[in-house]
Amino acid sequence: MTIREIQEEEEAGRLSPYASFAARSAGREIPEEPCDIRTAYQRDRDRILHSKSFRRLKHKTQVFLAPEGDHYRTRLTHTLEVAQIARTIARALRLNEDLTEAIALGHDLGHTPFGHAGEDALNSVCSGGFAHYRQSVRVVEVLEKKGQGLNLTKEVRDGILNHRTSGHPSTLEGQIVRLSDKIAYINHDIDDAIRAGLMEEERLPREMTDVLGHSVRERLNTLIHDVIANSMNRPAIVMSSDMERAMKSLRVYMFENLYLNPVPKREDHKARALLIDLYHYYMDKPGELPQEYRILMERRGEPEERVVCDYIAGMSDSYAIGVFEELFVPQAWK
């Protein structure tokens, strides 16, 4: 018996009947020989963790574009915080931690440089539209490994696609990540906004903080405990109605006071213009795309505008700025 088979037997005896069992996975698009050490979901987690797209998240904006200071969140630190929250909930509910972690680590792989400003920019110019959750799936199915993709299990791809607010994950592990993403970004974005001097804990609406807690730490603790208490031994991941109402109200408050605040967003119009200029440049000169992207058009017949979006979406903030300067900013003669 292999180590993987031992682990699969342990899952069968330890996990909740509502868990997703690795041995019962719906499998991969391209069948593979199982690993002798790792379960299918452990293998998926490792593939995501070692991908180029995952590494680039460390230089992609979460909320604050190119902030001065070491402690503001990036897309990578947000991803790790989502994974930690999600694993805590999954372990308490005796659900599959490996599947939960794989979905969490992969959920934002398709995010553009400059956060949602970049996503809006590409969505405005690409006729097929652009959404980061669909792009995240495209990254793992098509773009990684020079067009081969990571060949992840169906359950992981489903969780990545459906992590958005309107999504409906087919597994409880996917439902955990969907909720953990909101718990993480709402509270950690408040922490960053306080650090930036744009918010004060004492000025947050009391009708929300009296329910959720009066610090980031209290709110995280309250929300995680509430999800666990209301989802234990149930076929759904849910919160109490009071807690859900308070969190939704806090999310609305964050949109009104941070996400749409002109102070942290004052550079967004530049970021949008930069990416739109890059899009039009490469649409006019697709031959200047890196070879791995040209191959997608030449060998797979991928539409030019989709591949141009793939290239731009994969850029880090600093790389996008560097490419723009190289293409559009005159250089001093040497």
pLDDT tens figures, 86-121: 999 999 999 999 999 999 999 999 999 999 999 999
Length of the chain: 334
Helix/strand/coil (H/E/C) assignment for every residue in 38-82: CCHHHHHHHHHHCCHHHHHHHHCECCCCCCCCCCCCEHHHHHHHH
pLDDT tens digit string along 27-71?
999 999 999 999 999 999 999 999 999 999 999 988 777 666 677
* pLDDT, position 240: 98
* pLDDT, position 32: 96
pLDDT tens digit string along 251-287?
999 999 888 888 778 889 999 999 999 999 999 999 9
Report the alpha-carbon distance of residue 111 to residue 68 in Å, rounded. Answer: 21
48 — phi, psi (to 5°)?
-65, -45
What 3-state class would DSSP assign to 94?
coil
Q: What is the mean pLDDT of residues 17-36?
A: 97
pTM: 0.96
Mean pLDDT, rounded, of the chain = 95
Report the alpha-carbon distance of residue 4 to residue 10 in Å, rounded. Answer: 10
Burial 213-230 (b: 16+ CB within 10 A, else e): beebeebbebbbebbbeb
From the list 10, 46, 102, 72, the residue with the least C-alpha distance to 264 is 72
Tokens of 86: 């999600």
What 3-state class would DSSP assign to 28?
strand
Q: Are 49 and 148 in contact (CB under 8 A)?
A: no
Q: What is the mean pLDDT of residues 154-165?
A: 97
Higher local confidence (pLDDT), 334 or 167: 167
Q: What is the mean pLDDT of residues 293-299?
A: 93
The end-to-end CA distance of the chain, in Å, is 67
